[in-house]
Structure 1
Amino acid sequence: MDIIEIIKAIILGMVEGLTEFAPVSSTGHMIIVDDLWLKSKEFLASEYVANTFKIVIQLGSILAVVVVFRNRFIDLLGLGRGKTESSGQGRLKLTQVIVGLIPAGILGVLFDDYIDENLFTIETVLIGLLIGSILMIFADFFSPKEPSVTTVDQITYRQALTVGLVQCFSLWPGFSRSGATMSGGVLTGMSHRTAADFTFIMAVPIMAGASGISLLDNWKYFTMDALPFFIAGFVSAFLFALISIKFFLKLIDKVKLVPFAIYRILLVVVIYLIYF
């Protein structure tokens, strides 16, 4: 394993970490760097090894969310009283998070094979990026001017379910889970920061579960030859996701979703010019 391959792993981890939880679609960005970086050496030319690497760097991003929201997860799991803020109206419950996960979880199980076999193409990702951008613009323009929910502790079961239903759109590659759930959140009266917090909290169990299962299926590809590449990508994704999440949470209430939607539309143009 030469140093160039390690640098490439770091770059891929950086792309994953910076884009996984922002509403810009990590899938769209990975498409751009995939052909340029990922399949450049023999042991990475294998589709199975490449997919395993993507799982590894996604786990790095998930770990960053756990670190940022560690006190919240401590509360949710009943392992102790975390240092989370409370509105005085109770706390976010694990059952509310589960309610938000159920719709996309059911559809994901039912249509997982179909999605993998038919929807992971450049054309479908471009469609997801574009339609997701329209939803984000719509959410910013038609959400309540004064949000009624300014902390996740105020979220109701109805709002959690609504966000979960909107999250189903993110099963279409390129749509972006963060973009869908944040749009659903602000349309139900959440502040942008609250919608982002709830999005990140919901992302951990569904992404960790899916990645964990995939990792077990691909465990045999963790060879000594590929291990340094995997470790470099994991650490890079974790560090850059940590930076991205903290920066994004400070920024989102100020800039809202429209700038990210415009960026996504520009990304559609770039991908189209590269591939078509």
Structure 2
Amino acid sequence: MTPVLGSSVDVPTEDGVADAYLAHPADGAPRPGVLLYQDAFGLRPHLRAMADRIAGAGHTVLVPNLFYRQGRAPVVELPEFIDPSARPEIFEKLGPVIRELTDERAMRDADAFLGWLAQSPLVSDGPVALTGYCMGARLALLTAGHRPDRVAAAAGFHGGRLATDQPDSPHLVAGKVTAELYFGHADDDPSLPPEQIERLEQALTEAGVRHRCEVYEGARHGFTQADTAAYSEEGAERHWAALLDLLDRTF
């Protein structure tokens, strides 16, 4: 693994300033950019560690606090080990914060994050890659359709509500996507039932999007997150192999 440096940065947006974590190889040379979209629990030590691992493979990684409108991270105080079944008040506090992040706001933010990466001397010229977790998987797909000129590849893991029957469903952007996509779905995930998995696959195939969608058997929603009760070491390592393979192919 390449030695990595990490630091806190502020990213100006149309609605304020988003605090973020930036990880990059220590030599300071420009590398392909990766925008990492958080899960519902937000920017915290575990996501910083994930960014460090991606940076160690030769990338410059930005992890913004998507909830910056409510304050700097952590917006909601979290225990070191997150078990929502034992601490139901976590989601009671997070629910309103998540609902505040509308798709319109999220895509305004995406423009800011992608623009910041494009201007950074630590990021090489050209489009970037996205990886997202839980709610971040949804945002990765939306961003790939919103800014196809800036996104070369996008991955999403244990995403929810990716292909609903609503008019704002993320799968409806498939016709605008030019990036290669990869999705690693959690098995038996209430937020992504089989009919949504099938609908997503059909939409991507009919749109001619280069993609692969896989269900990780036995993995729960949130399986990549080592600081939560949903973590699966097997599923997480499979995710790392798939993600890094996608980045290697892209860059």
The two structures have a TM-score, normalised by structure 1, of 0.25
Higher helix share: 1
Q: Radius of gyration: which is bigger?
A: 1
The two structures have a TM-score, normalised by structure 2, of 0.26
